[in-house]
Chains A and B, each alone.
Chain A
Amino acid sequence: MSFGQDIRFAFRTLRKTPAFTAIALLALALGIGANTAIFTVVNSVLLHPLPFPRSEQICEIHTARFSRLTVMDDRTFVEFEKSNASFQHVAALNELQSNLTGIGEPIPVRGASVTPGFWRVLEVSPALGRTFSAEDERQSVMVISEQLWRSHFNADRSILGKVVNLDATPRTIIGVMPPGFAFPAASNFWAPLKVEPQPGQGWFYTVIGRLKAGVSVGQARAETKTIAQRLDPKNQHAAVDAGVISLHESLVGKIRPSLYLLLGAVGFILLIACANVANLLLARGASRRQEVAVRASLGASRVRLIRQLLTESTLLSLSGGAFGLLLCLWSVPVLIRLTPEGMIPRLAEVRIDGQILAFTFGLSLATSLLFGVAPAIQLSKARLADFLRQSDRRYSGAQSLRNILVVGEIALSLVLLIGAGLMIKSFVRLRSVNPGFNSESALTMTVNLPFNPEAKTEQLVQYHKQVLDKLAKLPGVTSVGAIDWLPFGLYLASGDFYTEAGSRPAAHFQVSKPGVTPDYFRAIGIRLLRGRLFNEYDTQNSQGVAIVSESVARRAWGDDDPIGKRVTLEDHPKPSDWLTIVGVVDDVKQRYLSEKAPVPAVYQPMTQVIRANFLLNMAYVVRANGNTSALPSLMRSRFHEIDPNQPIQLLSTMDDLISATTAEPRFYSRMLGSFSSIALLLASLGIYGVMAYSVAQRTREIGIRVALGTQRADIFRSVMTRSTLVVSSGVAIGLAGAYGVTRVLRNLLFDVTPTDAATFALVSALLVLVALAATYLPARRATTVDPMVALRYE
């Protein structure tokens, strides 16, 4: 028989059993679709090379580390560029968040200042015009992205030479990059960067380089360490901190474990779906034994029978794969939309391409083998003599295999459910953390004024006061304030401080040093614990004052009253730099709710901030009564009444701002929650199928039992007991599996251990309940078996 015939018969067989086919297709579409969707992201992000020629030669080079940040200081860069032998070209770059004006509505744009080597490292040419070279380093030129060119310049081909204002500096557009080019991190413009180390100052840059032909990453790393040690011989860590990794690894290395985690989770769903479909096939096998036995009697060899049965499962699987692909086409954009901004790099490059189609095809074929082989082998054993000798109701050989499959489904589902349970518990705990202020009914608007070396504190204070006066008059507003380093905001500066005794409270005890307006604490809802808040008498000319957060007070003065004590934020303070503490307020979380300890703070009145440029970045905070939905647009329009050319960086409720910092754990909770819900649904379908089939098989036996006087309650109990045995076996294996597997979640959990006993117990109980609920219907059906009807079969 040809494959064509096999396929035609398989198609006809599937069409004859629409319920079976529909359920199997649904399970397969979910399994294959979820896997294809996650693989699409994994493929584009982790497996595709970066979109630059010979991208494997491009590396990130660093000689210093700050937490997760790897950088190189300006002096080292200048030396490194001159003396290294490993790289053809190197480039320093600095990511920027700037304001673009002069093209209608001012817009905030992301971009980068880059040294001219940047273009040679990446080997990317502009689509229009030119990039900049060493001769342009001091020129006010810029290159823009194709996206910006289309969105704000109407794809104007005569744009070259046009002058726009970037952070209030006029710049001439000299080039437009090709579509898709947005390195680093969604950049829309590139401006020249001249690295010139200055005495007493130090700047750090991200540095990239293109390896010379034949030089390995390892060789380059060794040379970089040598250079770092040579340039800073006193620093014992110089060689340790220095390193070279591929740019691809540098961009995606951090997200790799998380993506593989999601891939693992959807892998579980596929396995569960396979077990489900295998179970359905085995159940259907009972009614097909006759057909298979007859085929065997007509001369079909076992291999031929298996081939026919596998053709059916392959057809089923490929159809499931096709639906899965549709599901993937729909779900990938949703997945991208749900992904918190910046969490997964290269998301803009995610594509469903030929590789994904091949993956889906391969996965579908593998899936068909996974769920099709065991039932095919089982069914191909059907022999005519056995079949004719027995009633086809007795197909008990497959029952144990079906039980094993359901045990496996339950175990896999439990692992996923426990993983989701841990993530959800972690997320709930995270969201219940008190940030130290009252975020409810508070809104913030952040602006980043252009850098101006001539800026004076009093001018900027006046500017902000004007804005605050406008905002205070908005309907429902009860208080307004401003702060330069807003909690959960875009920026944060921290550093040492000194008490009057002339010492730092501790070597690594760093504080944030915000400048605030008097009403800031009321507006954001930070409690005053002792002393007073700032007021209008705390001016540039009055005595320097400060408010400290509780942890600062405790750390610096223990149980002593800090009010009246003096601190300074300067390393070499003048007499006027000493600030008298007038109040103590609650500590606040500065960046994340998951911060182990709040960031201690020493607040200054904005009027007394020495470095005026610190006041360029300002967050206005508004507290209002009643419905605040109309406030954002009012705040925007009032602000632009004062400064129409100044873009607003951020306009948000404080709740949303906090929420954004929990977006990653929320994302993982959602993803694992969705995956485990699918798993639970499939597992309960599985257990329902097995128990329903088992009851159908036992109809005659149950009929005899009833005829002999067995109570219906006993029949019910007997079915439930069988189910409980299967479920508890699955739960036991699942618990053991989860105990081993959930450790991979350790880094994603907050205040919950990966083996949290309460989660394990609660989720297991939930699964048992659902599984027993799935058994209830078959058990009820068993109690309604009519002995007369059941025995009439004989």
Chain B
Amino acid sequence: MSSPIITLRNAEKYFEHGPTKTFVLRRINMEIAEGEFVSIMGPSGAGKSTLLHLLGMHDSAWTGEYYLLDHAIHKINKKDRMELYKKYFGFVFQSYHLLDSLTVYENLDIPLSYRNIKKSERDSIVCDVLDRFQIVGKKDLYPNQLSGGQQQLVAVARAIVANPKIILADEPTGNLHSSQGKEIMDLFKRLNDAGTTIIQVTHNEKNAEYGHRIIHIVDGWITD
């Protein structure tokens, strides 16, 4: 493994209820190396997804230090965070969250369009990804015309289409039956082998084992 791509120091998140604070994450210290595949596990309400969204910069209401390579995320403004997010991250959801009104092709195109990439270049990238994921035949279909597994496949394709260094996946197989889940996990494995850092939240022990290591969280604390 190489130098850390993500470093968290004393990261905390809490909600204030009058004079009392309810902590969701406590003194999180962690390093994730570039090219690593990390699984985060823990019981419901432990703070797994909160940690994932903190890493994905969807949440800015936390304290502590967060370094993404040389970027001190805790010090930079929202706009710059968004730029870094667009440059480094792809996100996969449990419920796929494809955009219903867009075709498969357009769902893949949209992250690129948000990155102001030229149309011709986008077309080339999307075609390449469709080909890599073997979903060329489905490019004109809408999400509701696909099975759950196919939708998650498209969701993963969408997550990597902008060539991110890191994929954050929040229970990516949670809504899939086992064979579809395995396909997705194998896909993550291949992506990781190709150099993409992957951080997944999962309840599934078997899927967690795809990672190089597992981080356990209980009541907002990292326990190992």
Q: Which of B58, B101, B102, B106 touches A297 (beta carbons < 8 Å)?
A: B58
Binary CB contact string for chain A from 1 to 39 against chain B (1 if under 8 A, 0 otherwise): 110010001001100100000000000000000000000
Given known contacts A301-B82, A385-B53, A385-B59, A295 and B101 CB-to-CB distance under 8 angstroms: no
Residues of A within 8 A of B4 (CB): none
B102 and chain A: residue at smallest CB distance: A9
The answer to whether A299 has its CB under 8 Å from any CB of chain B is: yes
The answer to whether B99 has its CB under 8 Å from any CB of chain A is: yes
CA distance in complex: A295, B91 (Å): 11
CB–CB A299/B58 < 8 A: no
Q: How far is the CB of B99 from chain A (nearest CB, A)?
A: 6
The answer to whether B115 has its CB under 8 Å from any CB of chain A is: yes
CB–CB B101/A16 < 8 A: yes
Residues of A within 8 A of B170 (CB): 388
CA distance in complex: A751, B106 (Å): 66
Q: Which of A1, A2, A5, A383 touches B58 (beta carbons < 8 Å)?
A: A383
Binary CB contact string for chain A from 261 to 301 against chain B (1 if under 8 A, 0 otherwise): 00000000000000000000000000000110011111111
CB–CB A384/B82 < 8 A: no
Given known contacts A304-B114, A385-B53, A299 and B82 CB-to-CB distance under 8 angstroms: yes
CA distance in complex: A385, B91 (Å): 12
The answer to whether B172 has its CB under 8 Å from any CB of chain A is: no
How many CB-defined contacts (below 8 Å) exist between A and B? 59
Within B63-120, the residues touching A (CB, 8 Å) are 79, 82, 85-86, 91, 93, 97, 99-102, 106, 110-111, 113-115, 119
CB–CB B49/A298 < 8 A: no
Q: How far is the CB of A387 from chain B (nearest CB, A)?
A: 9
Residues of A within 8 A of B91 (CB): 297-298, 384
CB–CB A299/B99 < 8 A: no
CA distance in complex: A294, B170 (Å): 13
Binary CB contact string for chain A from 508 to 528 against chain B (1 if under 8 A, 0 otherwise): 000000000000000000000
CB–CB A294/B114 < 8 A: no
The answer to whether B56 has its CB under 8 Å from any CB of chain A is: yes
Residues of A within 8 A of B93 (CB): 294
**18 A–B pairs (Cβ distance < 8 Å), ordered by A:** A1-B114, A5-B113, A12-B102, A291-B99, A291-B100, A291-B101, A297-B91, A298-B111, A299-B115, A299-B162, A304-B114, A383-B58, A384-B53, A384-B58, A385-B50, A385-B53, A385-B59, A388-B53
CA distance in complex: A661, B113 (Å): 66
Question: 14 additional contacts, CB 8 Å, given A16-B101, A297-B97, A298-B91?
Answer: A1-B113, A1-B114, A9-B101, A9-B102, A12-B101, A295-B99, A297-B56, A299-B111, A301-B82, A383-B58, A384-B58, A385-B50, A385-B59, A388-B49
Residues of A within 8 A of B102 (CB): 9, 12
Residues of B within 8 A of A295 (CB): 99, 110, 114
Q: Mark B residues whose CB is within 8 Å of A.
A: 49-50, 53, 56, 58-59, 79, 82, 85-86, 91, 93, 97, 99-102, 106, 110-111, 113-115, 119, 158, 162, 170
Residues of A within 8 A of B97 (CB): 290, 294, 297
Residues of A within 8 A of B119 (CB): 2
CA distance in complex: A300, B102 (Å): 15
CA distance in complex: A16, B58 (Å): 29
Residues of A within 8 A of B49 (CB): 388
CA distance in complex: A384, B60 (Å): 12
Most chain B beta-carbon contacts within 10 A, residue among A2, A300, A385: A385
CA distance in complex: A722, B15 (Å): 31
CA distance in complex: A216, B101 (Å): 63
Q: Which of B53, B79, B110 touches A298 (beta carbons < 8 Å)?
A: B110
Binary CB contact string for chain A from 297 to 309 against chain B (1 if under 8 A, 0 otherwise): 1111100100000
A304 and chain B: residue at smallest CB distance: B114
CA distance in complex: A515, B38 (Å): 111
Residues of B within 8 A of A388 (CB): 49, 53, 170
Residues of A within 8 A of B99 (CB): 291, 294-295
CA distance in complex: A451, B99 (Å): 84
Q: Mark A residues whose CB is within 8 Å of B.
A: 1-2, 5, 9, 12-13, 16, 290-291, 294-301, 304, 383-385, 388
Q: How far is the CB of B59 from chain A (nearest CB, A)?
A: 5
A12 and chain B: residue at smallest CB distance: B101
Residues of B within 8 A of A13 (CB): 101
CA distance in complex: A528, B159 (Å): 98
Q: How far is the CB of A391 from chain B (nearest CB, A)?
A: 13
10 interchain residue pairs of minimum CB distance: A1-B113, A299-B114, A299-B86, A385-B58, A385-B53, A294-B97, A298-B111, A385-B59, A384-B58, A12-B101
Q: How far is the CB of B20 from chain A (nearest CB, A)?
A: 19
B155 and chain A: residue at smallest CB distance: A294
CA distance in complex: A402, B186 (Å): 48
Residues of B within 8 A of A290 (CB): 97
A2 and chain B: residue at smallest CB distance: B119
CA distance in complex: A616, B59 (Å): 93
Residues of B within 8 A of A301 (CB): 79, 82, 114
CA distance in complex: A297, B91 (Å): 7
Q: How far is the CB of A714 from chain B (nearest CB, A)?
A: 30
B115 and chain A: residue at smallest CB distance: A299
CA distance in complex: A235, B143 (Å): 89
Q: Which of B59, B85, B100, B101 touches A299 (beta carbons < 8 Å)?
A: B85
A294 and chain B: residue at smallest CB distance: B97
Q: How far is the CB of B55 from chain A (nearest CB, A)?
A: 11
CA distance in complex: A5, B99 (Å): 14
Q: How far is the CB of A380 from chain B (nearest CB, A)?
A: 13
B78 and chain A: residue at smallest CB distance: A302
A297 and chain B: residue at smallest CB distance: B91
Most chain B beta-carbon contacts within 10 A, residue among A290, A297, A384: A297
Q: How far is the CB of A385 from chain B (nearest CB, A)?
A: 4
Residues of A within 8 A of B162 (CB): 299
CB–CB B53/A300 < 8 A: no
CA distance in complex: A25, B158 (Å): 35
CA distance in complex: A290, B100 (Å): 11
Residues of A within 8 A of B56 (CB): 297
Q: How far is the CB of A491 from chain B (nearest CB, A)?
A: 70
Residues of B within 8 A of A9 (CB): 101-102, 106
Q: How far is the CB of B66 from chain A (nearest CB, A)?
A: 15
CA distance in complex: A301, B111 (Å): 11
Residues of A within 8 A of B82 (CB): 299, 301
CA distance in complex: A671, B162 (Å): 58
Q: How far is the CB of A392 from chain B (nearest CB, A)?
A: 12
B103 and chain A: residue at smallest CB distance: A12
CA distance in complex: A752, B196 (Å): 80
Q: How far is the CB of B36 from chain A (nearest CB, A)?
A: 22
Q: How far is the CB of A12 from chain B (nearest CB, A)?
A: 5
CA distance in complex: A16, B102 (Å): 11
Residues of B within 8 A of A16 (CB): 100-101
CA distance in complex: A291, B106 (Å): 14
CA distance in complex: A16, B144 (Å): 13
Residues of B within 8 A of A296 (CB): 58
CA distance in complex: A385, B85 (Å): 15
Residues of A within 8 A of B50 (CB): 385
Q: How far is the CB of B29 from chain A (nearest CB, A)?
A: 22
CB–CB B114/A298 < 8 A: yes
Q: How far is the CB of B154 from chain A (nearest CB, A)?
A: 13
CA distance in complex: A186, B97 (Å): 68
Residues of B within 8 A of A1 (CB): 110, 113-114
CA distance in complex: A294, B114 (Å): 12
